[in-house]
Amino acid sequence: MTEFSKETTEKETYNRFVLVKGKSLKDIEPKIKEWAEIFGAGEPVNLTINKTDFGSWTLIKLPENELLTAYNYHNLVYWFLGTPPEDQNFAEYSIGISIDRKGESTYLIYNDYNLREKIATNDDVFGISEKNQKFILSIPFDELKTSTNKEIVDFDKFLTENGINLNEMNSNKLKWTELQIKLE
């Protein structure tokens, strides 16, 4: 089996999604605009993002766009966590799921505050490939390190525990609402 790597996350064959939830998350649009202001580097931004309710989650489907590189996408997933207590609009849970259209390397990243404390990481997210290759992704440094930590559960178990069905998520049956993110 080919080892999952940072380069794998950078392939251009992904449908990229973000799932967020939490009692402190009031509105996703301002969070996306804040992120776009920073990662747009002062350039105009014009994104059409789709969102829908998905069980207890808000599901966000991202477009293919030059702004949404793997690095920026991973940062967006992390951005939803905010900086409480200063930030009054943040998600307690944020998951990024990248579904490979070629069916070769679907993966997910997520935050787990308890696990972060146990293994003493900071500004990192945990990741799992569909082939159960586990990794820790440093958000600010854009570094991926493989992990054998048993606390990072298997891919299918993670999906089941969080009520996520990839086939349903990636189908054309969901009713999406468009969000226009424009920055001049």
**pLDDT 10s digits, 84-102:** 788 899 999 999 999 999 9
pLDDT value for 96: 97
Contacts made by residues 170-179, CB under 8 angstroms, sequence distance 24+: 170/15, 170/99, 174/52, 174/54, 174/59, 175/52, 176/50, 176/51, 176/52, 176/61, 177/50, 177/51, 177/52, 178/48, 178/49, 178/50, 179/28, 179/29, 179/32, 179/48, 179/49, 179/50, 179/51
- Higher pLDDT pick, 42 / 131: 131
Cβ neighbours of residue 89 under 8 Å, at least 6 residues apart?
24, 25, 26, 27, 30, 31, 82
Structure tokens at 168: 């349903």
What value does the mean pLDDT take over residues 150-177? Answer: 93
Mind listing the pLDDT tens digit for each residue in 25-66?
Answer: 999 999 999 999 988 888 889 999 999 999 999 999 999 888
**Which residue, 145, 144, 166, is CA-closest to 155?**
166
The contacts of residue 100 (CB under 8 Å, 6+ apart) are 11, 13, 14, 106
Q: Average pLDDT of the chain?
A: 90
Long-range CB contacts for residues 160-164, cutoff 8 Å, separation at least 24:
162/19, 162/57, 162/95, 163/55, 163/56, 163/57, 164/19, 164/54, 164/55, 164/57, 164/95, 164/97
* Alpha-carbon gap, residue 67 to 142, rounded angstroms: 16
Pairing of strands 57-61, 45-54: antiparallel
For 8, list phi and psi in degrees, rounded to 5. -60, -40
Q: Stretch 121-128: mean pLDDT, rounded?
A: 86
Q: What is the pTM of this model?
A: 0.93
pLDDT of residue 40: 86
**For residue 120, what pLDDT is reported?**
58
pLDDT at 133: 95
Percentage above 70 pLDDT, the chain: 96
